[in-house]
Amino acid sequence: MARNASSEHRLPQLLGALCERLPEDRIAAVEHIFEMATGPDDVLVSRFIADQSAAGLAHQLTEIIHAWRAEAPGLTGAGLALALATARSSPRPKPAQVVISGPLSASVPARLTSGVVIEVIRSAATSLLIASFAAYGAQDVVEEIGDAVDRGVQVDLLLEESTQASAAFRKLPKEVQVWHREGAPGVLHAKLIAADRHTAFLGSANMTDRAFFENIELGVLLRDPRLVEPLVEHFHWLLAPGSGVMRRA
């Protein structure tokens, strides 16, 4: 009986999907576990999977183990680690990723808002653009922004004046530029973090501890410059003196 063609290629597809989801250091950690494993039923692997807290990641890794056992039972852990390393090194477009705050679903791959915010800020090499309607607490984020300034990143904070959001960032260096909406009936309600022109996080979450850890929030992480550049250009236009939309605080 002929095997289903899609099942024959399930393991490579699952490894590729894992590489698309995780940053380099996390993929390297998975490779290390696979390399030490004797096979798909090694307790080392099952313990590693059980320790994963990111939404849907344990399920994703379990699917890889099931495919390893069904499709390549003779493949060593070192062999699987090499396959994952090969997939990681192959250039591929990075798809958008779902980002959430609140309850986690065990079967839906998603990432947590708090971790994504830090990751995007750390990825900035030259510029960081942040827009938020409200801001309160979020000291880890404030510290990361300060670290970005220390490494020479230009930071622009677009904040809603009526919520006094700028108070959350008062300890940041003077090099940080804070912007408010210029006299208009509407408010600045956008939530965006853009690193350079390559990565952006946008969604419903404000820059607050409740939005990062308690509320039910939804967002998306974009790592495609073709999508990120128009976002950055739009906000640069908003900040331009001739637009009359934003003013320096």
Tell me how many degrees the CA angle 74-79-80 measures, rounded to the nearest 5.
90
Distance CA 149, CA 142 (A): 11
Select from 69, 89, 109 the last residue of a domain: 89
Same domain, 26 and 121: no
Q: Supply the pLDDT for residue 56.
A: 82
Q: Supply the pLDDT for residue 122.
A: 94
Q: Supply the pLDDT for residue 7.
A: 45
Pairing of strands 177-181, 154-159: parallel
Q: Supply the pLDDT for residue 161.
A: 95
Any idea what the CATH number is for the domain that residue 181 is in? 3.30.870.10
Instruction: Return per-residue pLDDT of the chain as tens, 249 residues.
Output: 344 444 467 999 999 888 888 877 888 999 999 999 999 999 999 999 999 877 788 999 999 999 999 999 999 999 999 999 998 887 666 788 999 999 887 777 788 999 999 999 999 999 999 999 999 999 999 999 999 999 999 999 999 999 999 999 999 999 999 999 998 789 999 999 999 999 999 999 999 999 999 999 999 999 988 899 999 999 999 999 889 999 999
Same domain, 177 and 131: yes
Find out whether 153 and 127 touch, Cβ atoms under 8 Å: yes
Same domain, 51 and 153: no
Find out whether 193 and 121 touch, Cβ atoms under 8 Å: yes
Q: Supply the pLDDT for residue 90.
A: 76
Same domain, 240 and 199: yes
Task: Give the domain extent around 207.
Answer: 97-248
Distance CA 85, CA 19 (A): 9
Same domain, 162 and 241: yes
Q: What is the pLDDT of residues 104-144, one digit of tens each?
A: 877 777 889 999 999 999 999 999 999 999 999 999 999 99
Same domain, 79 and 195: no
Select from 89, 105, 136 the last residue of a domain: 89
Same domain, 62 and 111: no
Same domain, 180 and 206: yes
Same domain, 81 and 105: no
**Among all chains, which residue has been given the structure tokens 């849907």?**
56
Count up the domains in the chain and report the number.
2
Q: Supply the pLDDT for residue 6.
A: 45
